[in-house]
Amino acid sequence: MAPIELAAGPVSWGVDFADGPDNPPYAEVLDGIARAGVEWLELGPVGYLPSDPETVRRELGARRLSSVGTFVFDDLHRPDAAARVREAAERALDAIVATEGRLLVVIDRPDAARAATAGRADAAIPLYGRAWDAMVDTVRRVAERAAERGVRAVFHPHAGSHVEFENEIERLVEHVPRDELGLCLDTGHALYAGDDPAALIQRHRDRIEHLHLKDVSKDASTRPHDFWSAVASGVFCPIGTGMLDIGSVRDALAAIGYDGFATVEQDRRTDTAGTPADDLRLSVAHLRAAGVG
């Protein structure tokens, strides 16, 4: 199969937001990623790493890490948040350009209603009408700005968000042309939504430009309904210990000739069982043993 570069990021240490009170020191995270034997990094939420670009470049260089890019994780579904989302995207692009990254991952942040129905398509209330149109407009504006700065925008369907299930992914790609926006498939969030990651890779073969590799516990049927509570309960686990069929994902990636990045992640809280650095090493080992990365 085509070469795939494995990456990692602060998310696996529970760093979803830069101001999280329990965030570990960034040096601890960078050291853990380097010791896992990967050479690429998603920077995490803007503001978690030092704001001075020279400091960030020095910290990455000392550990022989290079930047893939980072994400904007915000309320894309809220028309009144459009200006703030674009400002957040601009700050993310600043960080990407300063570290010579390539990708901006665009994610709709779950609101309370959708987080409560995460993984349950029959209960989730979809976004329609002007609200949907406004979200699409925001995504397109962010993607356009990314392109202007030499960065490729990829959209990440996220559990508990307004683009979670297969029909919602289909709606998005119908409304945003391929030349404007790629897709970032998250294997764990696809499983959480009840979809087959390998089938999604094949179905969207012309749009998949980035991957988040993640696994879901085999005990997921007993998970809390609320997405954030499920994360805190440890529903996401090291790759190779849960429901993810690594072989089928590997074969699907080979079939489409995928040769990009794959960021290894494990959504968690700081008190989730296990140690982030150990879990990351285990995930990387299982992936490489399966011929991925």
Q: Concatenated DSSP letters for 67-99?
A: EEEEEEEE-TT-GGGHHHHHHHHHHHHHHHHHT
Task: Return the amino acid letter for 20.
Answer: G
144-203 residue pLDDT tens: 999 999 999 999 999 999 999 999 999 999 999 999 999 999 999 999 999 999 999 999
Output the CA angle 28-238-45, nearest 5 degrees: 45
Q: What confidence score (pLDDT) does residue 60 get?
A: 98
Identify the CATH homologous superfamily for domain 5-289: Divalent-metal-dependent TIM barrel enzymes (3.20.20.150)
Q: Is the pLDDT of residue 223 over 80?
A: no
* Token output for 194: 């009840």
5-36 residue pLDDT tens: 999 999 999 999 999 999 999 999 999 999 99
56-102 residue pLDDT tens: 999 999 999 999 999 999 999 999 999 999 999 999 999 999 999 99
Q: What confidence score (pLDDT) does residue 222 get?
A: 65
Q: Is the pLDDT of residue 221 over 70?
A: no
Give the integer Cα–Cα distance in Å for 208 and 167.
16
Q: Is the pLDDT of residue 2 over 90?
A: no
Confidence of residue 1 (pLDDT cuts 50, 70, 90): low
Q: What confidence score (pLDDT) does residue 289 get?
A: 96
Q: Roughly how many angstroms between the first and final C-alpha of the chain, as a whole number?
A: 10
The reported pTM is: 0.96
Q: What confidence score (pLDDT) does residue 87 get?
A: 97
Q: Is the pLDDT of residue 220 over 90?
A: no
Beta strands in the chain (DSSP E): 5-8, 40-42, 66-74, 103-108, 152-155, 182-186, 208-213, 215-216, 236-237, 261-264
Confidence of residue 219 (pLDDT cuts 50, 70, 90): confident
Q: What percent of the chain has pLDDT over 70?
A: 98
253-279 residue pLDDT tens: 999 999 999 999 999 987 777 899 999
Q: 154 — phi, psi (to 5°)?
A: -130, 135
